[in-house]
Amino acid sequence: MPEHAIVMGGSVAGLCAAAALADRFEKVTLLERDPVPTEVRPRKGTPQSWHAHLLLTSGQKALDDLCPGLLASLDERGAVGADAGKNFRWYMSGEWRPVFESGRHVRLQTRSLLETCLREKVAAKNVELRFGAKVDAPIHRDGQVVGVRLEDGSELESELVVDTMGRGTKTPTWLEEWGYRRPPRQAVRVDLAYCSGLFEVREGLFPGVSAFLIGAQPPRLKRGAAAFKVEGGRWMITLFGYHGDHAPLEFEDFCEWAKTAACAEVHHLLDGATLQGKLRRFKYPQQLRSRYDKLRSFPGRYLVLGDAVCSFDPVFGQGMSVAAREAMILGELIDKQGVGVRHRSFQNAIARVIDDPWQMATTEAYNWPETTGWKPAGAKLLQRFTARLHEKAAEDPELYDAFLDVVHLNERPASLFKPRVLRRVMFGARAVPAKSLPPASDPAVEPEPGA
Ligand SMILES: Cc1cc2nc3c(=O)[nH]c(=O)nc-3n(C[C@H](O)[C@H](O)[C@H](O)COP(=O)(O)OP(=O)(O)OC[C@H]3O[C@@H](n4cnc5c(N)ncnc54)[C@H](O)[C@@H]3O)c2cc1C
């Protein structure tokens, strides 16, 4: 067994990579610049943790495969279970999605709880978690990365180094310094901002509902809202807006702003709610993909994954699930190719995982006339198809179910073009006999009387 692997960056992608490497190296060292976390709360290095994070069902499975028992830990620590069709209410394209038992179980928790549970699982493996360890640069020698130099001047040797330092990674600059090309970049400018807080809401509001997602309504209404019931009975509420329509940070203005989303449910939640701490904002100017898969020449024993390769519009909730699947690929390729896993094989394999969510998120971005930058092929046609699908799915649970499979990255978007699904998109549910999905008992989303 090879001796030592180093992972640079200790967020979700880094923890997933470390989990995958743990079974394949004598020892794994994970380097994270932040101090040791002592509480379940956001770290400086992951400011997105102040905001709503949804873990898709495909991501749940991948994370639990990498770290068996993770989902049970989340349940024990108070993650809120929800059926994606029944308890997770989604308003998009001017209508609520059908309410039905989908059998798709999602867990809702703060991003900090997820990271904490993941970290505990990884720490129980042969992984040394080194906090307060800021990477200066990988050590490159004769076409290979042979270790990492830390900011304090110390050096670590290894047989494999994985970069999971997120969007801000310096790998493109280091590549240039070592005599390679920078990866070509695809940037899609959406000028999005999240504004979020954790709230205690009034008792008895919206029984049976654990989450609301109220989509923005392109091309005009640029704002939307997400509210997830999380551990401790609190609600994580995020107001988001594209192309400069950013929610305010003052509590009263925040509540007023919520009223102007396409539906008032999140505003009702905020009515009489108590904010814990303060409201936080995260600006997300652009979706960004670095095409490492296009580089022919690359240092040996060095790989990049997670947001460092691709950062998706967060409203789609894809980043953590994609990172987990990339880490699984890392493990599988090491099994096939050994520690000298080829950069091209790895980047091509993860590109196949990235392509679909990237296509979805960037195609949707062009529903805004203000969006600029790299444009996916066939965007117009796909937008027309998706608009039709959304219209029909509003009254067709089976079609919505097929769509949820794609949204949760369990199926490829191509599955929506299978004849059975396509007929429903083109001609409506009556064109195809229903599989009779059981309806949920409480289709209307109304606050409790007197609430
Ligand atoms: C506002 C927002 C909301 C989001 N919502 C969702 C969601 O609902 N669902 C979802 O799946 N994804 C979501 N994402 C994406 C998700 O947060 C990321 O995809 C996920 O965290 C994986 O990113 P990463 O680990 O690659 O990078 P990051 O999370 O950015 O972590 C990088 C890590 O590297 C460390 N680091 C950086 N430089 C150094 C250095 N020199 N030395 C040592 N350590 C270093 C940082 O401190 C940090 O811990 C959201 C993102 C944002 C911005």
pLDDT in tens, 44-79: 999 999 999 999 999 999 999 999 999 999 999 999
| Whether 62 and 118 share a structural domain | yes
Residue type, position 129, single letter: L
**Which of the two residues, 445 and 334, has the higher pLDDT score?**
334
Q: Which of 101-110, 293-302, 411-420, 431-440 is predicted with the least confidence, judged by mean pLDDT? A: 431-440
The domain tally of the chain equals 3
One domain, residues 256 and 219: yes
Same domain for 168 and 299? yes
Residue 98, in any domain of the structure: no
pLDDT of 430 reads 64
Contact 309/327 with Cβ under 8 angstroms? no
Q: What is the ipTM of this complex?
A: 0.99
Q: Take residue 138 and report the two structure tokens written for it.
A: 């990988």
Q: How far apart are CA 269 and CA 255, in angstroms?
A: 9
Under 8 Å between Cβ of 118 and 70: yes
Based on the fold, state whether residues 213 and 344 are members of the same structural domain.
no
Say if residue 154 is in the same domain as residue 258: no
**Is the pLDDT confidence value at 437 over 70?**
no
Exposed / middle / buried, residue 422 (Cβ in 10 Å: 0-12, 13-18, 19+): middle
Distance separating alpha carbons of residues 165 and 430, to the nearest angstrom = 50
Per DSSP (E only), the strands in 291-439 are 302-304, 310-311, 372-373
Going 368 to 312 to 405 to 111, the CA torsion angle's sign is negative
Residue 451 reports pLDDT greater than 90: no
pLDDT value of position 428: 83
Residue 199 within a domain: yes
At residue 340, the pLDDT reads 87
Q: Are residues 205 and 58 in the same domain?
A: no
Tell me if 135 CB under 6 Å of ligand 1.
yes
**Are 66 and 181 in a shared domain?**
yes
Q: Which protein residue has the closest C-alpha to ligand 1 atom 23?
A: 307
Rounded to whole angstroms, how far apart are CA atoms 395 and 421? Answer: 14
Q: Is the CB of 192 under 6 A from ligand 1?
A: no
Indicate whether 151 and 224 sit together in one domain.
Answer: no
Determine the average pLDDT of the residues in 8-28.
97
pLDDT at 436 over 60: no
Query: Which residue's alpha carbon is nearest to atom 30 within ligand 1?
Result: 166
The pLDDT of residue 434 is above 80: no
Residue 6 pLDDT > 50, yes or no?
yes
Percentage of the chain with pLDDT > 70? 95
In the reported structure, the alpha carbon of residue 351 is separated from the centroid of ligand 1 by a whole-number distance in angstroms of: 19
> 138 forms bridges with which residues in the sheet?
148
Q: Is the pLDDT of residue 439 over 60?
A: no
Q: Which of 146, 114, 127, 111 is nearest to 31 (CA)?
A: 127
Check which CATH number belongs to the domain holding 204 and give it: 3.30.9.90
Is residue 92 assigned to a domain?
no
Checking if the pLDDT of 209 tops 90, the result is yes
Least confident of 259-263, 375-379, 385-389, 436-440: 436-440
CA dihedral sign of residues 450, 109, 314, 173? positive
202 and 140 share a domain? no
Task: Tell me the mean pLDDT in the region 357-384.
Answer: 96
pLDDT tier for residue 435 given thresholds of 50, 70 and 90: low
Q: What is the mean pLDDT of residues 319-337?
A: 97
Q: CB-hemisphere CA count at 13 Å for 112?
A: 18
Q: What are phi and psi of 379, to 5 degrees?
A: -60, -45
Q: What's the alpha-carbon Rg for the chain, to the nearest Å? A: 22
DSSP class of 246? P
Task: Note whether residue 89 is domain-resident.
Answer: no
Residue 344 falls inside a structural domain: yes
Same domain, 352 and 419: no
Q: What is the mean pLDDT of residues 128-152?
A: 98
Write out the residue range of the structural domain in which residue 64 sits.
Answer: 4-81+108-186+288-360
pLDDT at 346 over 90: yes
Mean pLDDT of 351-372: 97
pLDDT of amino acid 1: 87
* Span from the CA of 46 to the centroid of ligand 1 (angstroms): 6
**Domain membership flag for residue 86:** no
Q: Are strands 185-200 and 372-373 parallel, antiparallel or unpaired?
A: antiparallel
Whether 447 is in a domain gets the answer: no
Q: Using the predicted structure, report yes or no on whether residue 431 has a pLDDT greater than 70.
A: no
pLDDT surpassing 50 at residue 179: yes
Among 435, 442, 436, which Cα is nearest to 420's?
435
Q: Is 238 in the pocket of ligand 1 (CB under 6 A)?
A: no
For the record, the structure tokens of 241 come out as: 């807006």
Token pair 């900011």 is found at 151
Same domain for 172 and 226, yes or no, is: no
User: Is the CB of 319 inside a 6 Å radius of any atom of ligand 1?
Assistant: yes
In the chain, the percentage of residues whose pLDDT exceeds 90 is 94
Per-residue pLDDT tens digits for 264-283? 999 999 999 999 999 999 99
Which residues of 367-447 form beta strands (DSSP E)?
372-373
Q: What is the pLDDT of residue 433?
A: 53
Quick check: 449 pLDDT over 70? no
Q: Whose CA is nearest to atom 4 of ligand 1?
A: 314
Whether the pLDDT of residue 168 is over 80: the answer is yes
For ligand 1, atom 53, which residue shows the shortest CA distance? 48
Which residue is associated with the tokens 């190719």? 337
One-letter amino acid identity for 190?
Answer: V
Q: Look up the CATH number of the domain holding residue 75.
A: 3.50.50.60
Residue 65 lies in a domain: yes
**pLDDT over 70 at 443, yes or no:** no
Number of residues that make up the chain: 451
End-to-end CA distance of the chain: 62
What is the phi/psi pair of residue 205, to 5°? -75, 140
Indicate whether 254 and 222 sit together in one domain.
Answer: yes
